Homo-oligomer: A and B are copies of this chain.
Amino acid sequence: MCSRPEPREPLRRVAVVGGTHGNEMSGVYLARHWLRAPGELRRPSFSAVPVLANPAATAACRRYVDCDLNRTFTSAFLTARAHPDDPYEVTRARELNQLLGPKASGQAFDFVLDLHNTTASMGTCLIAESTHNVFAMHLCRHLQLQSPELSCRVFLYQLPGEESYSVSSVAKNGLGLELGPQPQGVLRADLLIRMRALVAAALDFIQLFNQGTAFPAFEMEAYRKVSSVNFPRTEAGELAGMVHPQLQDRDFEPLRPGAPVFQTFSGKDVLYEGEATAYPVFINEAAYYEKGIAFFQTEKVTFSVPALPALAPAPAPAPAP
Protein backbone atom coordinates (compact mmCIF):
# COMPACT_ATOMS: atom_id res chain seq x y z
CA MET A 1 0.00 0.00 0.00
CA CYS A 2 1.46 3.33 -1.01
CA SER A 3 1.10 6.18 1.43
CA ARG A 4 1.61 9.59 -0.13
CA PRO A 5 2.65 12.43 2.19
CA GLU A 6 0.72 15.64 1.78
CA PRO A 7 2.67 18.24 -0.19
CA ARG A 8 4.41 20.92 1.90
CA GLU A 9 5.32 23.10 -1.05
CA PRO A 10 3.37 24.40 -4.06
CA LEU A 11 3.04 21.89 -6.90
CA ARG A 12 5.08 23.42 -9.72
CA ARG A 13 5.87 20.35 -11.83
CA VAL A 14 2.61 18.94 -13.13
CA ALA A 15 2.05 16.71 -16.20
CA VAL A 16 -1.12 15.80 -18.08
CA VAL A 17 -0.57 12.47 -19.85
CA GLY A 18 -2.61 11.15 -22.79
CA GLY A 19 -2.09 8.10 -24.98
CA THR A 20 -0.74 5.80 -22.27
CA HIS A 21 -2.98 3.42 -24.22
CA GLY A 22 -2.74 4.31 -27.89
CA ASN A 23 -6.38 3.64 -28.82
CA GLU A 24 -8.04 5.61 -25.99
CA MET A 25 -8.76 8.64 -28.06
CA SER A 26 -9.87 11.39 -25.66
CA GLY A 27 -6.43 11.62 -24.06
CA VAL A 28 -4.59 10.99 -27.33
CA TYR A 29 -6.21 13.96 -29.07
CA LEU A 30 -6.17 16.27 -26.04
CA ALA A 31 -2.42 15.63 -25.58
CA ARG A 32 -1.77 16.20 -29.29
CA HIS A 33 -3.78 19.43 -29.18
CA TRP A 34 -2.03 20.72 -26.06
CA LEU A 35 1.40 19.91 -27.49
CA ARG A 36 0.52 22.39 -30.28
CA ALA A 37 -1.37 24.87 -28.03
CA PRO A 38 -0.30 24.49 -24.37
CA GLY A 39 -1.86 27.75 -23.14
CA GLU A 40 -4.92 25.95 -21.77
CA LEU A 41 -2.67 24.13 -19.25
CA ARG A 42 -1.24 27.34 -17.72
CA ARG A 43 -2.20 28.58 -14.26
CA PRO A 44 -0.71 31.52 -12.33
CA SER A 45 1.52 29.28 -10.16
CA PHE A 46 2.48 26.58 -12.70
CA SER A 47 2.21 25.33 -16.27
CA ALA A 48 1.24 21.70 -16.72
CA VAL A 49 3.27 19.78 -19.30
CA PRO A 50 1.34 17.74 -21.91
CA VAL A 51 2.83 14.29 -22.57
CA LEU A 52 1.92 11.74 -25.25
CA ALA A 53 2.99 8.65 -23.36
CA ASN A 54 3.05 5.93 -26.02
CA PRO A 55 3.72 7.49 -29.43
CA ALA A 56 4.27 4.19 -31.27
CA ALA A 57 1.03 2.64 -30.02
CA THR A 58 -0.80 5.90 -30.72
CA ALA A 59 0.50 5.96 -34.30
CA ALA A 60 -0.73 2.37 -34.75
CA CYS A 61 -4.02 3.12 -32.91
CA ARG A 62 -3.43 0.13 -30.63
CA ARG A 63 -3.41 -0.17 -26.85
CA TYR A 64 0.29 -1.06 -26.93
CA VAL A 65 2.98 -2.36 -29.27
CA ASP A 66 4.64 -5.09 -27.14
CA CYS A 67 3.09 -4.94 -23.66
CA ASP A 68 0.77 -2.76 -21.57
CA LEU A 69 2.72 0.43 -20.76
CA ASN A 70 0.54 1.15 -17.74
CA ARG A 71 1.79 -2.03 -16.02
CA THR A 72 5.52 -1.44 -16.53
CA PHE A 73 6.36 1.26 -13.97
CA THR A 74 7.63 -1.26 -11.41
CA SER A 75 11.11 -1.19 -9.92
CA ALA A 76 11.96 -4.47 -11.68
CA PHE A 77 11.38 -2.90 -15.11
CA LEU A 78 12.64 0.58 -14.27
CA THR A 79 15.93 -0.47 -12.68
CA ALA A 80 16.89 -3.47 -14.86
CA ARG A 81 19.77 -2.95 -17.26
CA ALA A 82 18.54 -1.87 -20.69
CA HIS A 83 18.78 -4.48 -23.45
CA PRO A 84 18.19 -4.12 -27.21
CA ASP A 85 15.49 -6.82 -27.02
CA ASP A 86 13.48 -5.02 -24.33
CA PRO A 87 9.79 -4.56 -25.22
CA TYR A 88 9.10 -1.11 -26.64
CA GLU A 89 6.95 -0.17 -23.66
CA VAL A 90 9.66 -1.11 -21.14
CA THR A 91 12.08 1.22 -22.91
CA ARG A 92 9.40 3.89 -23.04
CA ALA A 93 8.65 3.45 -19.32
CA ARG A 94 12.32 4.14 -18.54
CA GLU A 95 12.21 7.29 -20.69
CA LEU A 96 9.06 8.49 -18.93
CA ASN A 97 10.66 7.66 -15.58
CA GLN A 98 13.54 9.96 -16.55
CA LEU A 99 11.12 12.67 -17.69
CA LEU A 100 8.59 12.51 -14.84
CA GLY A 101 10.51 10.73 -12.06
CA PRO A 102 12.65 9.05 -11.08
CA LYS A 103 9.95 7.19 -9.22
CA ALA A 104 10.04 7.64 -5.44
CA SER A 105 12.75 10.32 -5.68
CA GLY A 106 12.74 13.93 -4.59
CA GLN A 107 13.19 15.01 -8.23
CA ALA A 108 9.95 13.38 -9.37
CA PHE A 109 7.10 15.48 -10.77
CA ASP A 110 4.66 16.77 -8.15
CA PHE A 111 1.56 15.53 -9.93
CA VAL A 112 0.61 13.41 -12.96
CA LEU A 113 -2.91 13.33 -14.33
CA ASP A 114 -3.33 10.30 -16.63
CA LEU A 115 -6.20 10.26 -19.17
CA HIS A 116 -7.99 7.02 -20.12
CA ASN A 117 -11.09 5.69 -21.84
CA THR A 118 -12.91 2.41 -21.39
CA THR A 119 -15.47 0.51 -23.42
CA ALA A 120 -17.28 -0.18 -20.13
CA SER A 121 -20.10 2.04 -18.89
CA MET A 122 -17.91 3.59 -16.20
CA GLY A 123 -19.25 7.10 -16.67
CA THR A 124 -16.77 9.49 -15.04
CA CYS A 125 -14.40 7.48 -12.88
CA LEU A 126 -11.45 8.81 -10.87
CA ILE A 127 -8.73 6.22 -10.28
CA ALA A 128 -6.39 6.40 -7.32
CA GLU A 129 -4.13 3.83 -5.69
CA SER A 130 -5.62 3.84 -2.21
CA THR A 131 -7.33 5.87 0.50
CA HIS A 132 -3.89 6.87 1.81
CA ASN A 133 -3.35 9.41 -0.93
CA VAL A 134 -4.89 12.38 0.87
CA PHE A 135 -4.10 14.98 -1.79
CA ALA A 136 -5.67 12.86 -4.52
CA MET A 137 -8.76 12.26 -2.35
CA HIS A 138 -9.18 16.04 -1.95
CA LEU A 139 -8.82 16.47 -5.70
CA CYS A 140 -11.52 13.81 -6.22
CA ARG A 141 -13.77 15.63 -3.77
CA HIS A 142 -13.17 18.91 -5.62
CA LEU A 143 -14.11 17.34 -8.97
CA GLN A 144 -17.24 15.80 -7.44
CA LEU A 145 -18.33 19.16 -6.02
CA GLN A 146 -17.49 21.05 -9.22
CA SER A 147 -19.44 18.66 -11.46
CA PRO A 148 -22.23 17.06 -9.41
CA GLU A 149 -24.08 16.15 -12.64
CA LEU A 150 -21.27 13.72 -13.57
CA SER A 151 -21.59 11.51 -10.44
CA CYS A 152 -17.81 11.08 -10.41
CA ARG A 153 -17.03 7.75 -8.76
CA VAL A 154 -13.72 6.89 -7.13
CA PHE A 155 -12.04 3.53 -7.87
CA LEU A 156 -9.13 2.39 -5.70
CA TYR A 157 -7.10 -0.06 -7.77
CA GLN A 158 -4.21 -1.15 -5.57
CA LEU A 159 -4.49 -4.53 -3.87
CA PRO A 160 -2.93 -4.88 -0.38
CA GLY A 161 0.83 -5.34 -0.63
CA GLU A 162 0.87 -4.76 -4.40
CA GLU A 163 3.58 -2.56 -5.89
CA SER A 164 2.32 0.43 -7.88
CA TYR A 165 2.81 0.03 -11.64
CA SER A 166 1.00 2.88 -13.40
CA VAL A 167 2.47 5.91 -15.14
CA SER A 168 1.09 8.24 -12.47
CA SER A 169 2.92 6.24 -9.77
CA VAL A 170 6.18 7.74 -11.06
CA ALA A 171 5.23 11.16 -9.70
CA LYS A 172 4.86 12.20 -6.06
CA ASN A 173 1.10 12.31 -6.55
CA GLY A 174 -1.29 11.35 -9.29
CA LEU A 175 -4.77 10.50 -10.44
CA GLY A 176 -6.27 8.68 -13.41
CA LEU A 177 -9.37 9.88 -15.27
CA GLU A 178 -11.33 7.02 -16.83
CA LEU A 179 -14.23 8.03 -19.12
CA GLY A 180 -16.60 5.62 -20.83
CA PRO A 181 -18.16 4.06 -22.65
CA GLN A 182 -16.11 4.87 -25.74
CA PRO A 183 -15.00 2.29 -28.31
CA GLN A 184 -11.28 1.90 -28.89
CA GLY A 185 -10.21 4.01 -31.84
CA VAL A 186 -13.26 6.31 -31.67
CA LEU A 187 -13.22 9.95 -30.59
CA ARG A 188 -16.55 11.04 -29.15
CA ALA A 189 -17.00 14.79 -28.78
CA ASP A 190 -19.07 14.47 -25.61
CA LEU A 191 -16.33 12.53 -23.83
CA LEU A 192 -13.51 14.77 -25.06
CA ILE A 193 -15.38 17.85 -23.89
CA ARG A 194 -16.03 16.24 -20.50
CA MET A 195 -12.41 15.17 -20.08
CA ARG A 196 -11.17 18.62 -21.03
CA ALA A 197 -13.40 20.21 -18.37
CA LEU A 198 -12.22 17.73 -15.72
CA VAL A 199 -8.57 18.45 -16.51
CA ALA A 200 -9.25 22.20 -16.24
CA ALA A 201 -10.96 21.68 -12.87
CA ALA A 202 -8.05 19.54 -11.63
CA LEU A 203 -5.53 22.22 -12.58
CA ASP A 204 -7.74 24.82 -10.88
CA PHE A 205 -7.65 22.72 -7.70
CA ILE A 206 -3.84 22.60 -7.76
CA GLN A 207 -3.81 26.37 -8.27
CA LEU A 208 -6.10 26.84 -5.24
CA PHE A 209 -3.80 24.66 -3.14
CA ASN A 210 -0.70 26.46 -4.37
CA GLN A 211 -2.13 29.87 -3.50
CA GLY A 212 -2.73 28.81 0.11
CA THR A 213 -6.26 27.42 0.25
CA ALA A 214 -7.03 24.95 3.07
CA PHE A 215 -9.48 22.09 2.48
CA PRO A 216 -11.54 20.66 5.36
CA ALA A 217 -11.85 16.99 6.32
CA PHE A 218 -14.75 15.01 4.78
CA GLU A 219 -16.25 11.54 4.39
CA MET A 220 -15.51 9.82 1.09
CA GLU A 221 -17.22 6.89 -0.64
CA ALA A 222 -15.20 4.75 -3.02
CA TYR A 223 -15.06 1.37 -4.76
CA ARG A 224 -12.04 -0.72 -3.78
CA LYS A 225 -10.83 -3.55 -6.03
CA VAL A 226 -11.15 -6.98 -4.41
CA SER A 227 -10.62 -9.45 -7.27
CA SER A 228 -11.19 -10.09 -10.96
CA VAL A 229 -13.68 -12.48 -12.55
CA ASN A 230 -12.92 -14.39 -15.77
CA PHE A 231 -15.36 -15.30 -18.56
CA PRO A 232 -16.64 -18.87 -18.79
CA ARG A 233 -14.17 -20.71 -21.03
CA THR A 234 -14.01 -23.91 -23.05
CA GLU A 235 -11.35 -26.49 -22.20
CA ALA A 236 -9.28 -24.99 -25.01
CA GLY A 237 -9.49 -21.60 -23.31
CA GLU A 238 -11.90 -20.00 -25.78
CA LEU A 239 -14.88 -17.96 -24.59
CA ALA A 240 -17.83 -20.22 -23.78
CA GLY A 241 -20.13 -17.33 -22.94
CA MET A 242 -20.52 -13.59 -22.57
CA VAL A 243 -21.46 -10.98 -19.99
CA HIS A 244 -25.15 -11.46 -19.17
CA PRO A 245 -27.53 -8.82 -20.59
CA GLN A 246 -28.67 -8.11 -17.02
CA LEU A 247 -25.09 -7.27 -15.94
CA GLN A 248 -23.95 -5.38 -19.08
CA ASP A 249 -23.68 -1.59 -18.53
CA ARG A 250 -24.37 -1.95 -14.76
CA ASP A 251 -20.95 -0.84 -13.54
CA PHE A 252 -20.97 0.29 -9.87
CA GLU A 253 -24.44 -1.19 -9.29
CA PRO A 254 -24.89 -3.84 -6.56
CA LEU A 255 -24.57 -7.46 -7.72
CA ARG A 256 -26.42 -9.74 -5.33
CA PRO A 257 -25.75 -13.46 -4.74
CA GLY A 258 -27.67 -15.57 -7.25
CA ALA A 259 -27.93 -12.84 -9.92
CA PRO A 260 -26.90 -13.82 -13.48
CA VAL A 261 -23.43 -12.72 -14.56
CA PHE A 262 -22.80 -14.67 -17.79
CA GLN A 263 -24.78 -16.37 -20.51
CA THR A 264 -23.18 -19.28 -22.35
CA PHE A 265 -23.51 -19.62 -26.12
CA SER A 266 -25.73 -22.63 -25.46
CA GLY A 267 -28.11 -20.30 -23.63
CA LYS A 268 -27.36 -21.25 -20.00
CA ASP A 269 -27.17 -18.57 -17.31
CA VAL A 270 -24.17 -18.51 -14.97
CA LEU A 271 -25.03 -17.02 -11.57
CA TYR A 272 -22.97 -14.99 -9.12
CA GLU A 273 -21.97 -17.38 -6.39
CA GLY A 274 -20.40 -14.91 -3.95
CA GLU A 275 -21.84 -14.68 -0.45
CA ALA A 276 -21.98 -10.89 -0.24
CA THR A 277 -23.14 -8.09 -2.52
CA ALA A 278 -20.35 -6.96 -4.86
CA TYR A 279 -20.00 -3.88 -7.05
CA PRO A 280 -18.67 -4.88 -10.49
CA VAL A 281 -16.64 -2.35 -12.49
CA PHE A 282 -14.94 -2.39 -15.91
CA ILE A 283 -17.64 -4.77 -17.08
CA ASN A 284 -16.81 -6.05 -20.58
CA GLU A 285 -13.78 -3.81 -21.18
CA ALA A 286 -12.30 -4.74 -24.60
CA ALA A 287 -8.69 -4.62 -23.41
CA TYR A 288 -9.28 -7.08 -20.57
CA TYR A 289 -10.38 -10.11 -22.61
CA GLU A 290 -6.72 -11.06 -23.15
CA LYS A 291 -6.04 -10.56 -19.43
CA GLY A 292 -8.84 -12.99 -18.56
CA ILE A 293 -10.95 -10.33 -16.87
CA ALA A 294 -14.69 -9.99 -17.56
CA PHE A 295 -15.02 -7.48 -14.69
CA PHE A 296 -13.52 -6.48 -11.36
CA GLN A 297 -15.36 -7.08 -8.13
CA THR A 298 -15.12 -4.15 -5.75
CA GLU A 299 -16.36 -3.40 -2.28
CA LYS A 300 -17.99 -0.09 -1.52
CA VAL A 301 -16.12 1.65 1.29
CA THR A 302 -16.63 4.87 3.23
CA PHE A 303 -13.74 6.47 5.02
CA SER A 304 -12.62 9.77 6.57
CA VAL A 305 -10.19 11.96 4.70
CA PRO A 306 -8.30 14.36 6.97
CA ALA A 307 -8.12 18.07 6.28
CA LEU A 308 -5.56 19.34 3.80
CA PRO A 309 -3.91 22.27 5.60
CA ALA A 310 -3.02 25.47 3.84
CA LEU A 311 0.59 25.79 2.74
CA ALA A 312 2.67 28.03 4.94
CA PRO A 313 3.08 31.41 3.19
CA ALA A 314 6.28 31.64 1.23
CA PRO A 315 8.98 33.55 3.13
CA ALA A 316 8.87 37.23 2.25
CA PRO A 317 11.54 38.14 -0.29
CA ALA A 318 14.65 39.56 1.30
CA PRO A 319 14.51 43.37 1.44
CA ALA A 320 16.35 45.04 -1.36
CA PRO A 321 19.87 45.94 -0.31
Binding site for B on A (CB under 8 A): 29, 32-33, 37, 61, 119, 181-190, 192-193, 238-239, 242-245, 248, 263, 265-266, 284-287, 289-290
A46 to B: closest C-beta gap in Å? 23
Contact indicator B289/A32 (Cβ below 8 Å): no
Q: List B contacts of A238 (CB < 8 A).
A: 32
The listed residue (B33, B239, B244) touching A29 by CB distance below 8 A is B239
A286-B32 contact, Cβ under 8 Å, with A190-B245, A243-B189: no
Best-buried of A187, A243, A245 by chain B (most CB within 10 Å): A187
Q: List B contacts of A289 (CB < 8 A).
A: 61, 185
Q: Give 13 CB contacts A-B under 8 Å.
A: A29-B242, A29-B265, A61-B290, A119-B185, A183-B183, A184-B286, A185-B286, A185-B289, A187-B284, A188-B243, A189-B242, A189-B244, A189-B263
Contact indicator B187/A184 (Cβ below 8 Å): no
Q: How many copies does the complex hold?
A: 2
Q: List B contacts of A285 (CB < 8 A).
A: 186
A contact patch SS: loop
Q: List B contacts of A244 (CB < 8 A).
A: 189
A78–B239 CA distance with the chains assembled, in angstroms:
34
A277 to B: closest C-beta gap in Å? 22
Q: List B contacts of A37 (CB < 8 A).
A: 266
10 interchain residue pairs of minimum CB distance: A183-B183, A185-B286, A119-B183, A33-B265, A189-B245, A186-B286, A187-B242, A189-B242, A119-B186, A190-B245
Best-buried of A37, A185, A192, A248 by chain B (most CB within 10 Å): A185
The listed residue (B29, B186, B243, B286) touching A284 by CB distance below 8 A is B186
Q: List B contacts of A190 (CB < 8 A).
A: 245, 248
Q: List B contacts of A239 (CB < 8 A).
A: 29, 187
A35 to B: closest C-beta gap in Å? 11
A160 to B: closest C-beta gap in Å? 31
A183–B121 CA distance with the chains assembled, in angstroms:
12
A119–B185 CA distance with the chains assembled, in angstroms:
9
Q: List B contacts of A265 (CB < 8 A).
A: 29, 33
The residue on B at minimum CB distance from A285 is B186
The residue on B at minimum CB distance from A26 is B242
A63 to B: closest C-beta gap in Å? 10
A182–B284 CA distance with the chains assembled, in angstroms:
11
Contact indicator B184/A242 (Cβ below 8 Å): no
A248–B186 CA distance with the chains assembled, in angstroms:
11
The residue on B at minimum CB distance from A63 is B185
A321 to B: closest C-beta gap in Å? 48
Q: List B contacts of A186 (CB < 8 A).
A: 119, 183, 284-286
A284-B245 contact, Cβ under 8 Å, with A29-B265, A33-B265, A183-B119: no
